[in-house]
């Protein structure tokens, strides 16, 4: 009976050792899978950081572009106003020049008339 009991204990011990070996292999496999997953996670985390930087940079660039666009639009508006002012000034100067020419013609005609009268009176 003692021998039977020892045989049963040996069989139980062999089963437990098998289970232990299987559990150890599963633990090793799980650890390897965990390390692989951890590396993938870290890689994805780095990629996400790069993408976040790219997005931030693009937002900054978009903001700068919008500001530059607004500045250029303002400069265009100022230049258009200067063009209109120059055109108005040119029109005013043209009108003034015509008035001076007309006045000059009138004065020349008066001078000629006065000269003719003077020459006729002499």
Nearest to 99 by CA among 89, 109, 107, 88: 107
**Higher pLDDT residue, 58 or 119?**
58
Taking all residues of the chain, what is their mean pLDDT, rounded to a whole number? Answer: 94
pLDDT of the residue at 116: 85
Encode 34-45: b = buried (16+ Cβ within 10 Å), e = exposed. Answer: eeeeeeeeeeee
CA distance 55 to 12: 62
pLDDT at residue 122, rounded to an integer: 64
pLDDT band at 95 (very low <50, low <70, confident <90, very high): very high
The mean per-residue pLDDT over the stretch 60-69 comes to 97
Q: Is the pLDDT of residue 120 over 90?
A: no
Residue 121: pLDDT over 90: no
């Amino acid at each position: 009976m003692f021998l039977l009991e020892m045989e049963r204990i040996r069989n139980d011990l062999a089963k437990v050792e098998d289970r232990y070996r299987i559990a150890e292999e599963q633990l090793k496999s799980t650890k390897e899978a965990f390390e692989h997953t951890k590396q993938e996670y870290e890689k994805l985390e780095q990629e996400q950081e790069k993408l976040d930087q790219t997005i931030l940079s693009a937002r900054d660039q978009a903001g700068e572009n919008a500001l530059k666009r607004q500045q250029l639009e303002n400069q265009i508006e100022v230049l258009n106003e200067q063009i209109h002012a120059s055109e108005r000034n040119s029109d005013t100067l043209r009108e003034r020049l015509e008035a001076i020419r007309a006045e000059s013609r009138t004065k020349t005609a008066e001078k000629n008339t006065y000269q003719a009268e003077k020459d006729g009176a002499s």
